[in-house]
Amino acid sequence: MTGRIGSILLVTTVLAWGPAGAQERLLTMQDVSPELAHLIGGTQLDFVAKEKIRYGVTGKAHYDQFFRESAVSYGGMTIGRGLTDDATIKLKGYARTKVAIAELEAQITEITGGKPPEEWTAEESIAVLQAAKEKDHLSDEENRYFVSTAAHVAATIPVVRASVVSSQQLLGQVAGLVSGAPSAFGLMRGPGVARNVQRSGDRLKTVPTEGVGVVESLTVLSRGLSMLSGT
């Protein structure tokens, strides 16, 4: 019985994508950005690998291009979101360690309005770290982090911007690809391909709006890290 179910699932997948062994591929950081692949590919910051983004291969060039470009667009957004969250958490963590430095107490109060450290924004945390830098209270570890992350963020901003633009273009193709699937693939494969086009489109819907916010957050981080790293 188990073998029969497995065979049915395999047939369903083949009908949706194409011949067995060529129906699905895993997106890599290299696919999204060779520069970022060199900087953070294969590290804990490889958010494409963590997300395990897959895309289909059908054997029809127009559909295959759509599936791959949709995955790349979503992958760029995934990198931007992941790096923003990771950098923000680390900067806030470093900033909180400066609370114990008596020499910085008055400046920190002025910068944050006396709020508890867990309520500091990214901008306030960066300002606290800048104050610490001016009085030579940054560690070697912190300085190394600021330099490397400044490079990562700078390389990520254009990737996310490209994702926003491409997602808008790709979303405009969804309706035509869905309606054209039966004639392109036949009555057996067409519905499965159409569903996967729609799923790809649904995944892209958040990219245009969320991407703009991510670019803004990355830009704030980039400016702050540039000051902290002296780049």
What pLDDT does 172 receive?
Answer: 97
For the segment 155-170, what is each residue's pLDDT rounded down to a tens digit?
A: 999 999 999 999 999 9
Measured distance CA(169)–CA(163) in Å, rounded: 10
Pick from 69, 71, 58, 45: which is nearest to 149 by CA?
A: 45
What pLDDT does 23 receive?
Answer: 84
What pLDDT does 5 receive?
Answer: 37
Task: Let me know the angle formed at the C-alpha of 97 by 92 and 102, rounded to the nearest 5 degrees.
Answer: 130
Q: What is the pLDDT along the chain (231 residues), one digit of tens a residue?
A: 434 433 333 333 334 444 433 488 999 999 999 999 999 999 999 999 999 999 999 999 999 999 999 999 999 999 999 999 999 999 999 999 999 999 999 999 999 999 999 999 999 999 999 999 999 999 999 999 999 999 999 999 999 999 999 999 999 999 999 999 999 999 999 999 999 999 999 999 999 999 999 999 999 999 999 999 986
Measured distance CA(194)–CA(207) in Å, rounded: 21
Measured distance CA(178)–CA(66) in Å, rounded: 12
Measured distance CA(56)–CA(177) in Å, rounded: 14
Q: Residue 56: enclosing H or E segment and its boundaries? A: strand 54-56
Task: Let me know the angle formed at the C-alpha of 184 by 183 and 190, rounded to the nearest 5 degrees.
Answer: 80
Please name the amino acid found at residue 15: L
Helix extents (H) in the chain: 2-17, 29-32, 34-40, 47-51, 61-96, 105-112, 122-134, 140-171, 174-204, 207-229
Pick from 186, 214, 190, 200: which is nearest to 24 by CA?
A: 200
Helix extents (H) in 25-60: 29-32, 34-40, 47-51
What pLDDT does 230 receive?
Answer: 86
Label residue 44 exposed, middle or buried (CB < 10 Å: 0-12, 13-18, 19+). exposed
What pLDDT does 68 receive?
Answer: 97
Range of the domain at 38: 2-229
Task: Let me know the angle formed at the C-alpha of 76 by 145 and 69, rounded to the nearest 5 degrees.
Answer: 155
Per the structure, how many domains does the chain have?
A: 1
Inter-CA distances, 50 with 42, 142, 148, 184, Å: 10, 25, 21, 34
